[in-house]
Amino acid sequence: MESLANQFTTSEVTIRKDLAALEQNGLVLRRHGGAILAPGESKEIIEKVSKRKMSIAQAAAALIKDHDRILIDSGNTTHAMVSFLKAKRGLVVMTNSLSTAQDVLDLEPEPTLLMTGGTWDVHSQSFQGAMAEQMVSSYNFDLAFVGASGLDLSRGTTTFNELTQLTLAMTKVARKTVVLAESEKFQRKMPNLELSWQQITTLITDDQISESAHKTLTDMGIAVEIVTI
């Protein structure tokens, strides 16, 4: 980690965060002190994944109107939304992510920023815990934007992380909950349920989603917005 931080002139915390994000997307395998490329991965695949995330993030940002009150959960795709909020006015934004918060503060006009506080979780690089849940529950929001490590047609969004209560708390105080996830997440088997489909209003995904998955979700009353890659 130290050598990577020196090479890229950044902190070890940033390196760990970037490696965790790459691992989550199946691009690297983390090893003690660093990481190795996942078998069969290439620069072309990395760029394609990045394009998917940005397209999904842009579609999510388009749902936001001036003066909306929004929640942005931690995650790479949700974080990418912020760059598309530059034209929005009078926003109130709450997040549990320091990196998202910093980018929100860089926007012009600057939104009102609220932080959840709570206990710092190294794995998700975000604030979690009872204090964060209590803070979120003190407000009402128009939209909550959350990501997903995995998608299970029979259950909902899934994750390896057992800290799922904050995301659930976000859905309870938002009029609509929007999930941002690439279609490949349907192939990822995760043990822990984060949100059931009944708690989700909209799924924004890419055009590789199968027809059967699309139909199953729409039959459940979920709005599926598909971006073309």
Q: Which pLDDT value is given to residue 41?
A: 42
Q: Which pLDDT value is given to residue 42?
A: 43
What's the half-sphere exposure (Cβ side, CA atoms, 13 Å) at 149? 23
Q: Which domains does the chain have, with CATH numbers?
A: 1-40 (no CATH), 42-227 (3.40.50.1360)
Q: Which pLDDT value is given to residue 4?
A: 55
Please name the residues in contact with 13: beta carbons below 8 A apart, sequence gap of 6 or more. Answer: none
Residue 36: other Cβ atoms inside 10 A: 10
Per-residue model confidence as pLDDT tens digits over 158-191? 988 777 899 999 999 999 999 999 999 999 888 8
Closest CA to 101 of 56, 110, 223: 110
Instruction: Please tell me the distance from the alpha carbon of residue 214 to that of residue 229, in angstroms, as a whole number.
Output: 17
Give mean pLDDT, residues 12-36.
59
Dihedral sign, Cα of residue 67, residue 71, residue 75, residue 77 = negative
The residues that bridge with 113 in the sheet, in sequence order, are 93
Q: Which pLDDT value is given to residue 48?
A: 47
Asked if the bond preceding 109 is cis, omega within 30° of 0, the reply is: yes
Per-residue model confidence as pLDDT tens digits over 129-151? 999 999 999 999 999 999 999 99
Per-residue model confidence as pLDDT tens digits over 30-72? 555 665 554 444 444 445 448 899 999 999 999 999 999 999 9
